[in-house]
Structure 1
Amino acid sequence: MTVLAVDIGGTKFAAAAVTPDGEILVRAEVPLRGPDSADAVLAEVVARVTAEVPEARIGGVGIGSAGPLDPVKGTVSPVNIPSWRGFPLVDALARMLPGRPVRLAGDAQCMALGEWWRGLPERERPRTLLGMVVSTGVGGGFVIDGVPYVGPTGNAGHIGHITVDPGGDACPCGGVGCVELLASGPSMVRWAAANGWTGPDARALAADAAAGHPVALAAFRRAADALATAILTASALVDLDHVVIGGGVAAAGPTLFDPLREAVARDAGMGFLRRLRVDRTSLDRDAGLFGAAALVLLAPQA
C-alpha cells in the first residue's frame, strides 16, 4: 500500500506519498507562516499530496513530529509551535483520511528509521543504529534490530539533552550543560559571536570554518567534542554499530565530521566502541519522510 508520510518540523511541514519499495511518488513542503498557522499548514501540505495521489491509494499514515509527544494519546507539543500544546495530531490526520491506520513517532526517531530502511543497502543494515539531527536543536533516535526504540513515553533518543558539561549553563530543558548548548547551530553561533566572530548565522560560520577562521574552527571543534561525548556515552550503553547524522550543521560536511571522527577515535576506550561508524546522512531532508512511512510499512501485520 502507498503511505502518506508526514514530517512535522519547527519551521516547515513536509508530506509525501511513499510506496512499499521506498519510491516517493509526490512530495510537498509548506513553511509555517507564524505561530498560529500550524493547523492550516497541516491541511495544506496533506491536500497537496492527495491532489496528486488519490486518497483511495493511500492505505495508512505515518507521522514524524518534533516533540515532546505522547504516542499513546497521539498528541504533540512541539517547542516551536506554541499553538500546539497537547495537540491531537493523530486524530487530526485520522479525520483527514478516515479508516486508515495512523502511527506517530518523534521526528528524529523517524530520521533514524528512514536511514536504516532506505539509507543503507539491506545487507549493510546494522543491528543498532543511532540517527541524529544536528540543526536548530540536537535530537536523536535508536533503531534496534530493525525496530525504532521509543521508550515507555515515546521520547527515547533525546541525545541533545545528555549532560556533557556538568559545570555548564542551564538548558531550557531544565538540565545543565546539555549537548544542545554546545552543538546546535544557534548555540555555536552564540559562542562564536561571544569570542569575536561577526558573521550572521550557522551557514556563514561553517563557510568561515572551512576557510580557516580560527574562532569558527574552534566552534566546530567544541561542537564535535560535545557530540563525540554523547555518541560514545550512547554507544557504551546500547553497543551501537552505526551513527548517522543529518540536519543543517551536518551539512558542513568535513568541517564537522573530521573533528568529530577524530574525537570519537581519541576518546573511545573499550574495543567495542572503536568499531563504531559515524557518517553523514545519505537521504538529507527525506530521511524523516521515509521513516514516517516505515512506521506503517514495516509494522507487524495483524
Structure 2
Amino acid sequence: MSDAAFTVIDLGGTTLRTARYGVADDAVTDVRRVPTDGIAGHPGRPVAELQARVLDQVAALAAEAVARHGSGAVCVSFAGPVTADGRALAAPTVWGGPGEQVAVRQRLEERLGLPVVVVNDLTAAVWRYVDPADDRPFCLITVSSGIGNKVYRAGEVLLDTEGHGGEIGHWTVDPSPDAAPCDCGGRGHLGALASGRGALAAARRAALADPAGYARSALAASAPDPELLDNRALVAAVRAGDAFATAAVRVGITALATAITAVFTSIGIRRYVLIGGFALALGARYAELLTAELERLGCFGLTPEEVRQMVVLGAEDDDSGLIGAGRLLAATLPAPAPAPAPTR
C-alpha cells in the first residue's frame, strides 16, 4: 500500500498539468505541463468546439498518466463551477462562454474506466491549506488567468450541490455598459479587472489613455507598442516600483479589496490566502498593495493592526490544485492498491 497513488490533473485556462500523487508521502511527482487546448490558444472558436478539444486533451493525457502511475483513481481540479456530480457549469477561462453544461466526470469515467472526481480548482486547492492543528476558517483566493475563491469553515468548503459559491471573479464591480469584458461574456466582473489577464488589459488601456506616461514607464522599454506588452514585463515593472505599472495594477487590486471587505462583513472570514500565477509572481509586493487598500477601505469592527494580518501568500509554487486534489481523493476514496506488474 505504500506505493498507492492517484493521478491528479489541474485544468487551468492557460496550462493543463498532470501529476502522480503518492498517498503515503503526501507529495506530487511526475508533474507535466502542456498548454490548455482551449480559448487561450483558439480565440474566437465556438464554445462547443473548444469543449470537445479540451475534454479530448484531458482524457488523452489522463490515460497516459494513469498508465505511468499505475493509479486507481483520478481527480480533476477544474477552472470553473462544478456540481456535486461532476458537471461543469461554466469555464470562461478554459473555453469561453456561455455554453452547455458538460458532464466531465461521466465522460472521463467512460473513457478511462476508473473512478473520477471532478471539483472546482479552488475547492481542490483549499485542502492543501487545511491545517488539522489550526481549524480557523479562511478564504482561498486565486489571482491567475481568472479570479476565484473558496471559503473553508468547520471541515468543509462552503458550496451548494449545484456548485454555486466561490465565484467571486464574476461579481460585477463596474456596472457601466462599456466596462472591461470578462471571458464569460459579461462585463465589469472582478476577474475582468483584477486577474492576470485583466491587469494586463488595464495596463494596455492606461497606455492608450496616457501615451506620454507610458513612454516614461519601464514598460515602454520592454514593449514600445502597448499591444505587445506581456505579464512578465508588467510584473517586473511593478516589483521594481514603476509608478505607471503600479497604478494600472492597483485598479484591479482595489476592486479585489472591495470584494474581500464584502466577504468579511457578510460572514466574518478574517484570513485570506492568496495563490495563482499573477499574485505569486508579484509576491510580497502584491500582498503589500492589497493590504494597503484594505486598510484604506477599512473592515467594519477590525482595528488597523487586525486588517494588516488578514492577507497571507500561499506556497510559492503552482502545485496547490494538484496536492489538494490528491488529499481530497485520499480523504474520500479508499487508497488504491498498486497496479499489478505486467505479465510477460
Of the candidates 285, 288, 291, which is equivalent to residue 261 of structure 1? 291
Please report the TM-score for the alignment, with normalisation by the length of structure 2. 0.74
Pair 76,114 (structure 1): closer, same or farther in 2 beyond 3 Å: farther
Q: Would you say how many aligned residue pairs link Structure 1 and Structure 2? A: 292
Q: Which residue type is aligned with residue 269 of structure 2?
A: L
Please report the TM-score for the alignment, with normalisation by the length of structure 1. 0.83
Matched, 1:278 2:318: no
Of the candidates 76, 82, 91, which is equivalent to residue 106 of structure 2? 91
Cα shift readout 1:115-148 (whole Å, capped 9, x = no counterpart) = 33xxxx542x443121111122111112222322
For residues 73-222 of structure 1, the aligned pairs below 5 Å read 74-75=87-88, 77-79=90-92, 80-81=94-95, 85-98=100-113, 100=115, 102-116=116-130, 122-123=132-133, 125-166=134-175, 169=179, 171-172=181-182, 173=184, 177-196=188-207, 197=214, 198=220, 199=223, 200-222=229-251
Contact 1:67 1:78 (C-alpha < 8 Å) held by counterparts: yes
* Identical pairs, percent: 27
Cα shift readout 1:49-68 (whole Å, capped 9, x = no counterpart) = 2232214xx2x322211224
Contact 1:110 1:292 (C-alpha < 8 Å) held by counterparts: yes
For residues 45-64 of structure 1, the aligned pairs below 5 Å read 45-55=61-71, 58=72, 60-64=73-77
Q: How far did residue 231 of structure 1 move?
A: 1.2
Contact 2:85 2:105 (C-alpha < 8 Å) held by counterparts: no
Contact 1:220 1:255 (C-alpha < 8 Å) held by counterparts: no
Contact 2:7 2:18 (C-alpha < 8 Å) held by counterparts: yes
After superposition, the CA RMSD in angstroms is: 2.9
Greater C-alpha Rg: 2
What SS does the aligned partner of 1:143 have? strand
Of the candidates 220, 224, 232, which is equivalent to residue 261 of structure 2? 232
Q: How far did residue 73 of structure 1 move?
A: 5.5
Contact 2:8 2:326 (C-alpha < 8 Å) held by counterparts: yes
Q: Which residue type is aligned with residue 63 of structure 1?
A: V
